[in-house]
Amino acid sequence: NMFKVAVVGGEGIGPEVTAQSHRVLKWFAANRGVPVTMREAQYGIIPYLATGKVLPEDTVEAMEEADAILWGATGGPETKEVPPAARKAGSLLSMRRKYDLYANLRPIVASPALADSAPLKAEVLRGVDFVIIRELTSGIYFGEPRGIETLADGQRRGFNTEQYTTNQIRRVARAAFELARTRKGKVCSVDKANVLETSVLWREEVIALHKQEFSDVELNHLYVDNAAMQIVREPRQFDVMVTGNIFGDILSDCAAMASGSLGMLPSASLGPVDKFGRRKALYEPVHGSAPDIAGKGIANPLGSILSVAMMLRLTLDRPDDADLLEKAVDTALANGARTADIAEAGATRLSTEQMGDAVLSA
Ligand code: NAI
Ligand code: MG
């Protein structure tokens, strides 16, 4: 049973970091027998200049047939050359929607090797290991009606609609409970049920699902403002945190500081399980195209490499290999491997490729 992976580096530092994570995935296929075939495809300004499409047919096909997509990044100044209509037709957002990638998993792990140089105190960070699951295809970012209107008195009024349905809540809560079963068995659901109707429904549905199917998992609830404070105060208390789109966006950036650099963070975005038991998934580093360092070969590839670890665990069904890869990253860091973004003053700064080498040799 071969799995298919589409490798799409995209723009900016995307192709640079993805070259390293692709090497790592190839290593697992060659040396650990991970049953996977890889198909590289282009996205963004380069195919646009050649074909007039940011998302050419070949790439659509590669992504369509794939069990998992290894994505780099999109965006940057050169993308201004692409007219908005052409860009929108193949945007990352439109793909997330097309494949209904509703469950966005963002693990927050404080590497012991970086704990002392991270912005939070080492004694708060030691042992931090949790996952934020952010609902990615609904909520206030997508709700209708939305707009800006001019009122009778000449003022303007901007408005958005926060909305969640039972199914939208239940499916992401299910993803959280199922993930918790493979970890420490704890789910923290975050909402603002003291103020928002959507959050009242959110909490009711999470409680109902928990009672029906997941009573073996420990469940608690936090209001989002308290959750923000708890993430900074005592992040070790969390195992799996599940929340809506806007709360997850903000909380995950807050939690990201526990890891030391944006360049360290992986993510997975999971779609619905189909009748064959498969689920489409997109794996990408949390960072963007980083135009300020693109083309220099100095970007940190660890966010992309750790996204491959998530792929091994969640799509390829190889938890031992996922552990092995995460351990290799820790070992490389413990041995002092540093790209510029995580280097202490005076430390040797590895190139993107050298960091790939360091992980592979570990
Ligand atoms: P960014 O994540 O690209 O960069 C923010 C800062 O972090 C920059 O100083 C950059 O040099 C640094 N950085 C990011 N990744 C790094 C890495 N791997 N190693 C070392 N340093 C790293 O975010 P920014 O600047 O807000 O956005 C740039 C472009 O990327 C925009 O066009 C934005 O829309 C796009 N973007 C795309 C995403 C995606 O493809 N999923 C996600 C976020 C932003
Ligand atoms: Mg964000």
Render pLDDT for 11-37 as a digit per residue (tens, 0 to 9). Answer: 999 999 999 999 999 999 999 999 999
Question: Hey, which bits of the chain come out as E strands?
Answer: 3-10, 36-41, 68-73, 103-109, 129-135, 147-150, 156-159, 186-191, 218-223, 240-243, 266-273, 279-285
Q: Tell me whether residue 88 is one of the annotated catalytic residues.
A: no
Contact assessment for residue 248 and residue 133, using Cβ atoms and an 8 Å cutoff: yes
Contact assessment for residue 107 and residue 215, using Cβ atoms and an 8 Å cutoff: no
Q: What is the CA radius of gyration of the chain?
A: 21
**249 labelled binding-site residue:** yes
pLDDT for position 120: 60
What's the CA-to-centroid distance between 52 and ligand 2, angstroms? 29
Which DSSP state fits 137? S
- Asked casually if ipTM beats, i.e. exceeds, 0.90, the reply is yes
Question: For tokens 């069904």, what's the residue?
Answer: 317
- CATH 3.40.718.10 residue ranges of the chain are 1-104+261-362, 119-259
Residue nearest ligand 1's atom 32 by CA: 75
- Token pair of 338 as six digits: 């540093």
- The residue-averaged pLDDT of 144-155 equals 97
Integer Cα distance of 131 and 176 in angstroms: 9
**Quick check: 352 pLDDT over 80?**
yes
Render pLDDT for 181-231 as a digit per residue (tens, 0 to 9). Answer: 999 999 999 999 999 999 999 999 999 999 999 999 999 999 999 999 999
Side chain identity, residue 104 = N
Integer Cα distance of 321 and 291 in angstroms: 33
pLDDT for position 116: 66
Question: For tokens 């189909």, what's the residue?
Answer: 274
Q: Which CATH code, of 3.40.440.10, 3.40.718.10, 3.40.640.10, 3.40.50.10490, is assigned to 119-259?
A: 3.40.718.10
Q: Does ligand 1 come within 6 angstroms of the Cβ of 284?
A: yes
Q: Which of 96-105, 213-222, 254-263, 273-282 has the highest mean pLDDT?
A: 213-222
**67 labelled binding-site residue:** no
Q: pTM (2 decimals)?
A: 0.91
| Domain at 1-104+261-362: CATH code | 3.40.718.10
- Token pair of 208 as six digits: 């109902």
